[in-house]
Structure 1
Amino acid sequence: MSGDLLAGLAVILAVAFVFSRLAVRMRQPAVVGEIIAGIALGPSLLGLFPGNPTEAVLPADTRPILQALSQLGLVLFMFGIGYGLDLFHLRGNSRQVTLISLGSVTLPFALGAGLAAMLYPWYDKSQLSTDGALAPVLFLGAAMSITAFPVLARIVAERGMRRSRVGVMALACAAIEDFLAWCVLAVIVVVITAGGPWPLVRMVLESALFLLLLAYAVRRGLRWLLAPERRWAIGGPLIHAIVLTGLLLSAWATTEIGLHAVFGAFAFGVAVPRAEIEASAPEVAERIEQTSLFLLPVFFTVTGLSVDPRGLGEHGITIIFAVILVACTGKFVGAAVSARLSGVSRSESVVLGVLLNARGLTELVILNVGLELGVLDSQMFTVMVIMALVTTVMTGPLLQRLGFHQEIRPAFGSRKSVGTRV
């Protein structure tokens, strides 16, 4: 490992720490500061200074290794999202939660797809890997449908809303929305990468076989292995090794199928028997999360290297305002109107619309998938990253105006449960 890489990692972690602390002081989730830190180290800020300090801090020969580390952090994070997916909150509110979730996914998807169709003539076609507008249109619709469940969970906790009806409903809706959005995105990725009817059929069959294997073989096998009568013979280190190996193999499997590694990591997180793991070795999930906490600032920096406001062109400001307007309108109206139609009070419907509009880190994950697939050009990637930041930052102040004041100020590195990463 070169000295340049070690120095670069030191800078990334130090800047992420400082910016996360500043974000917390400004009553924002720590992840907002870490995202801004990653962007600041790229062309958006540091690269503007004479001599291009970005190149000096993060030389070109270190970036492939940083990319590999960021991908590892990403799959560990996505495992945490799947592992923390808990639909227990649906009990007693399943009809309302389902209606709100569908409304706050369908409307943003339709508006996002429509906006992409309008903006497609402004895309840089040389950066796209597909012909025609279908793939960019479908992808932008799916990206607009995302709600950042981990960030939302922290916001709900900080505002003292975990035991409130609206807080419980928001978390349940966000969990369902993200699950639906990832399923839609997986279908889109299959369609984009298949390249024809037979490859498409093959990818669908292989994906279905993979999910069945996780649901019936892996899940049942782990339950048998971690049963109370055998639990005493298996130590925490072995369980940790089994889970980590399964996670990485699942990420590899979806890559081989033609999907992205994040789908395999997420699916494995959903499949593992959470109750048995918590009873046998509760530290396993925390160790995996702590590793992702170390690596995610690298992911934000790699993302920031692709964000360059200077490349927005003459239509940049117009596109930014259009994307933010469509994103906020789709989520807020879709959630609030659906909530009212399902019998939720007006005030709670407004709060739900505000909460479900936060995109956060989950949006960046999807955007990186789109950039890697070639369904986003660099201009739209930059705009969507800006939108993700704006919709996350505005959530806190809006809740403040609605009477939900921050009660907890989490410190950098103080997260304790997988699925609540901020």
Structure 2
Amino acid sequence: MHPVSTMEVFLIAMTIIFCIPFLIWRLGRTDYFAPLVVVQILTGIVLGPGVLGAVLPGYYHFVFSPQVVQILTGLGGWAVMLFVLIAGIELDLSQAWANRRESGITAGLALGVPLVFGALTALGMLRFPGWIGLQGRPWQFVTGVGMACAVTALPILILLMEKLDILRRPIGQRILRYASLDDIAIWGVLALVLVDWERIGRQVGFLVAFAAACLLLRKLMRAIGERDRWYVMLIWLALCAFGADWSGLHFMVGAFLAGVVIDAHWFDQADMDRLRHNVLLVMMPVFFLSTGLRTEWNVGGAAVFLAALALLVAAVAGKLAGVHLAGRLLKWKPGEASLIGWLLQTKALIMIIFANILLDKAIITSATFTALLLMAVMSTMLTTPMATPRLRRLERPLLG
């Protein structure tokens, strides 16, 4: 019997990645409370060292050998870079600027209040060992965890609003404006948290070079046809991600910056929608699995779940409180703030990407990462069941 090759084990892992979540989602009919993306994340957690690795260590180490994990990590990294690039491209700040008073007040409160709630929770976590990473400073940990509680997952929010049939309606466009402004703030705070004073020269150099390259890129993109723009976009993504990582900021920051400076109207919207859909279908499940492989329960399973619940309360209560306060100040119709708040509190992808970066930089531990991951999953699972009845109550005045 010949030894099993790394490629054969990799293909076994890929079969598991695509088969198990799909069967759970399809046969269990979970879409109302757990979209496929959530099932994929949960499956990744179950397949990780904390569950499968503990129950079947021999099987786990056979399928997820260091060589296979390295391949999966590389594929997952490229997948999420593409996803973050698309999120950056799809940011439309023109509408936010046109409605800057309303958008600024709402986005500021929707981000600021859960940030404070999450930061207070993080301060409580600092009183116990096992939560802050080896390279993390208290202010980085508190700010990072606080911002993780404030994040809105813009790409997943778009998918959920498509299912609710409000994406192209006035209420949906308002929600996109608020989420877009918060998305910019989130990446800005992340860049601040990741500032490395020992490598500040590199980081300043990268930002200066990036600004100069943006001018050249925009001239080039206007001069070439759309077919060539797709290839240039991918080359630009790789260069920006490399430059950001080399400077110490993280390749995800580079991926987001790469997308922000690209105009969405340079591409056919239907083609961009298909790209986002195909990345979600073909590649993002690998990222979810590689994310699940990073979950651990070093400080004890009960403590991790308690931390996740505390973070969930901070995130949801903070988001709802901030949006309701905005609604009072701006005199929204009754019920609008509740609907908008529940939609904006969805976490999923962007928060998981955010937490991955904090873990990569050793600002948080694997235990904190696991708690944040569980919080993101629970937050996303709450969105549709809580938003749907509120939308029904508002449907006639909003959509009529």
Q: Normalising to structure 1: TM-score of the pair?
A: 0.84
Distance 1:325 1:34, change over 3 A: same
Provide the residue aligned with 1:259 in structure 2: 249
Given candidates 178, 193, 208, the residue that maps to 1:173 is 178
Deviation at 1:23, TM superposition (A): 5.8
Q: Over aligned residue pairs, what C-alpha RMSD do you find?
A: 2.6
Question: What is the 5 A alignment of 1:280-291?
Answer: 283=271, 286-287=274-275, 290-291=278-279
Q: Give the Cα–Cα distance (whole angstroms) in 2 for the partners of residues 48 and 351 of structure 1.
A: 41
Deviation at 1:105, TM superposition (A): 1.0
Question: What is the 5 A alignment of 1:255-334?
Answer: 255-278=245-268, 283=271, 286-287=274-275, 290-291=278-279, 293-309=281-297, 311-312=299-300, 315-334=303-322
Letter matched to residue 140 of structure 2: A
Question: What is the 5 A alignment of 1:155-170?
Answer: 155-170=160-175
Q: SS in structure 1 opposite 2:194?
A: helix
Given candidates 187, 193, 215, the residue that maps to 2:192 is 187
Q: Give the Cα–Cα distance (whole angstroms) in 2 for the partners of residues 212 and 126 of structure 1.
A: 34
Q: Give the Cα–Cα distance (whole angstroms) in 2 for the partners of residues 252 and 87 of structure 1.
A: 26
Q: Give the Cα–Cα distance (whole angstroms) in 1 for the partners of residues 284 and 90 of structure 2.
A: 18
Deviation at 1:86, TM superposition (A): 1.9
Q: Is the 8 A contact 1:34 1:297 kept in 2?
A: yes
Letter matched to residue 102 of structure 1: G
Q: Give the Cα–Cα distance (whole angstroms) in 2 for the partners of residues 40 and 304 of structure 1.
A: 7
Q: Is the 8 A contact 1:23 1:32 kept in 2?
A: no
Q: Does 1:31 align with 2:37?
A: yes
Deviation at 1:240, TM superposition (A): 2.8
Question: What is the 5 A alignment of 1:64-213?
Answer: 64-90=70-96, 93-124=99-130, 127-130=133-136, 132-190=137-195, 193-195=196-198, 199-200=199-200, 202-213=201-212
Q: Give the Cα–Cα distance (whole angstroms) in 1 for the partners of residues 54 and 303 of structure 2.
A: 21
Given candidates 361, 370, 374, the residue that maps to 1:386 is 374
Letter matched to residue 263 of structure 1: V
Given candidates 317, 338, 351, the residue that maps to 1:350 is 338
Q: Structure 2 unaligned runs (5+)?
A: 1-5, 396-400
Q: Does 1:247 align with 2:231?
A: no
More divergent stretch after superposition (378-387 vs 285-294): 285-294
Q: Give the Cα–Cα distance (whole angstroms) in 1 for the partners of residues 383 and 390 of structure 2.
A: 11
Q: Deviations over 1:301-329 (max 9, x none)?
A: 11111223474356334323221111111
Q: Does 1:42 align with 2:48?
A: yes
More divergent stretch after superposition (136-145 vs 91-100): 91-100
Q: SS in structure 2 opposite 1:315?
A: helix
Q: Is the 8 A contact 1:97 1:173 kept in 2?
A: yes
Provide the residue aligned with 1:217 in structure 2: 216
Q: Is the 8 A contact 2:221 2:229 kept in 1?
A: no
Provide the residue aligned with 1:418 in structure 2: none
Letter matched to residue 67 of structure 2: D
Distance 1:102 1:403, change over 3 A: closer
Distance 1:256 1:310, change over 3 A: closer
Question: What is the 5 A alignment of 1:334-373?
Answer: 334-373=322-361
Q: Give the Cα–Cα distance (whole angstroms) in 1 for the partners of residues 392 and 129 of structure 2.
A: 40
Q: Is the 8 A contact 1:70 1:299 kept in 2?
A: yes
Q: Is the 8 A contact 2:87 2:256 kept in 1?
A: yes
Distance 1:50 1:221, change over 3 A: closer
Letter matched to residue 197 of structure 2: A
Letter matched to residue 295 of structure 1: M
Q: Deviations over 1:194-223 (max 9, x none)?
A: 33xxx43x2452243144225422122211
Report the count of equivalent residues: 388
Q: Give the Cα–Cα distance (whole angstroms) in 2 for the partners of residues 118 and 311 of structure 1.
A: 15
Letter matched to residue 116 of structure 2: A
Letter matched to residue 110 of structure 1: V
Q: Deviations over 1:25-66 (max 9, x none)?
A: 445432112212212211344334345532233223311111
Q: Is the 8 A contact 2:132 2:363 kept in 1?
A: no
Letter matched to residue 209 of structure 1: V
